[in-house]
Every structure is written in C-alpha cells, then in structure tokens.
Amino acid sequence: MKRIVIFASGSGSNAENIISFFRENPEVTVAAVLTNKNSAKVLERCDRLGVPAFYFNKPAFKDSDAVVNFLQGLNTDLIVLAGFLWKIPSSLIDAFPNKIINIHPALLPKYGGKGMYGDKVHQAVKDNKETETGITIHYVNENYDEGAIIFQAKTDVIPSDDANSIAKKVHQLEYEHFPKVIEKLLS
C-alpha cells in the first residue's frame, strides 16, 4: 500500500479530487492532509470525506522536526503539495528526496517563483497576452517552482479570456491530470 500525504493551504479542491480518485484503489491511500491554516476549507472537506487532517504552525514546520517525524511515522511514500504556499524547508526535502511534488498553475519556468500563485499567475498570463498557459507538475527542491518538471499540460488563452476564465481552464487541467500523474509516480 502506497501512502500519500497532501499539503494544502486553501479550499482543498485539488486535495478532494485526489482523495476521490484514489478512494477505490486498494494499492494507494491518502494517509492524511496537512495544512498551515487552521481555518482552511480543506479541513471541512477532509472531515466530510473521512480523511485525517492536521494543522501545523510555522515553528513546527520550519524550526523543528515535528512535521518530518509525523510524516515518517505515517510511512509516507509521496508528499503532494496541492495549493500549499509555504516554502518547503531543506530538512523536509532531505528526509523525502524526490518524494515531494507540487502543481503550479502555469507552464514553468514562466510565471513561477515566490508570490506567483493562483490568480496572480492567471492575471500575469492575461497581462502578457499569452496565447497558451497550463499546469506544471514538478519535484520540489529548495527554490520555489524550480524542481525538475515531471509533466505539463497546455490550454489555449484567447483574447476574450480574463483571469477568471483562465483559472477555470487551468483548474480543469489540474483535476484531469494531477491524480493520474501521482498514480504513475507511485507505480
């Protein structure tokens, strides 16, 4: 049995999609969801879905081995960042080499780095009159959005698109591809 732990900071729609995708898979389980926001909507989703969810604060994440020890105690095979905005400390990267992946709502290396997330990315795509955007699933290293690329998928951007319509197209790509890429990485 392969064990996934999802990190999320917000609503948790990608987390729910991943949990639902693996619900009937006897070889993969979402062991837990971790969040750095005690008011994150992902906690409500996990409660409804029956998946253990835990909150942690910055000192537990950055200044101690609490989160690393917790993940090791769960026998975590893959850590999936799904809308998680904090930079991953080197202690966690070292403890789980090539076992932490992230999804970014653009075609990296474009529109990546500190502060580039969510609607900020989609607005930048619109402002720069891009004709395409998409998603990038990549390994996590010590720098924001610079880990080795695992997978990308593209969608067209048309002149009438705004940041909201671009976001909807990108979310569709996320929901379609993220669980399948995770499944492939675990097989």
Tell me the catalytic residues: 104
Strand pairing class (100-104; 132-139): antiparallel
Q: Exposed, middle or buried by CB within 10 Å (0-12, 13-18, 19+), for 24?
A: exposed
Residue of 86, 97, 101 lying closest to 178 (CA atoms)? 101
Q: DSSP code of 155?
A: E
SS3 content of the chain, % helix, strand, coil (to 5): 40, 25, 40
Residue of 120, 116, 119, 155 lying closest to 135 (CA atoms)? 155
